[in-house]
Structure 1
Amino acid sequence: MSRSNKVVVPDCKAALNQMKYEIAAELGLFASHGVPSGAGADTEFAGELGSVGGGTRIQWSEVTSRDVGSIGGSITQRLVAQAEKVLNGYS
C-alpha cells in the first residue's frame, strides 16, 4: 500500500512534532518511548506530559486510534486557525 502523504515542506516536521506532543500533553497522554532523541519536543514537554489532566505514562503504541485521531484533528484545527490569522493580517 502506498502512502498518499507527500512531504511538501520538510522543514515543518519538527514544528508539527512539537505540536503533536503539546496536544498529547493537553489530552493527558504521555509518550516517552519511541520518541526520536533529537525531536526537541520530547524533552521540552516531558515534565508536563505525565501530569497534565492526570495522565498516565503510556507508549505511543498503546495510544488508542481515537486519541491519535483527536491529536490529528487538533493539529488540523490549530493549523487552520494559524492560517486564518495570517490571511487576515494578524501574525
Structure 2
Amino acid sequence: MSRRSNTLVVQQAKAALQQMKFEVAQELGIQIPQDGYYGYMATRDTGALGGNITRRLVQIAEQQLQGFRR
C-alpha cells in the first residue's frame, strides 16, 4: 500500500499542475529535465520551483475565496 502524501485529490488537475510547473520554470529560467528525473537538479532550483508553484496556488485560492465573499 502506497502512503504518498502528495496524491492528487482531483486527477484531472494533473495536466494543469504540469503546465503550471513548466510556466514557473520558464519564468525562473530553470530547465526541467526531459526524462522527468529531478535528481540531478540543484536543490535550490527545485525548491524555488516548488515554492513559486505553492505561492501561485495560494494566490489562486485567495482569489477564489474573495469571489465567494461578494
| Percentage of matched positions with identical amino acids | 46
Give 1:4 deviation, angstroms: 2.2
Give 1:61 deviation, angstroms: 4.2
Give 1:25 deviation, angstroms: 0.7
User: Which sections of structure 2, spanning at least 5 residues, go unmatched?
Assistant: none
Q: Cα gap change, 1:60/1:4 in structure 2, threshold over 3 Å: closer, same or farther?
A: closer
TM-score (ref. length: structure 1):
0.62
Count of aligned pairs between the two proteins:
67
Give 1:34 deviation, angstroms: 1.3
The question of whether the paired residues in 2 share the 8 Å contact of 1:19 and 1:75 is answered with yes
Give 1:29 deviation, angstroms: 1.6
Q: Cα gap change, 1:33/1:61 in structure 2, threshold over 3 Å: closer, same or farther?
A: farther
2:23 match: 22
> Which letter does structure 2 place at the counterpart of 1:34?
D
In the aligned structure 1, how far is the partner of 2:16 from the partner of 2:8?
14
1:73 match: 51
In the aligned structure 1, how far is the partner of 2:5 from the partner of 2:39?
22
User: Which sections of structure 1, spanning at least 5 residues, go unmatched?
Assistant: 36-58
In the aligned structure 2, how far is the partner of 1:82 from the partner of 1:64?
27
Give 1:2 deviation, angstroms: 4.3
1:13 match: 14
CA-based RMSD: 2.3
TM-score (ref. length: structure 2):
0.77
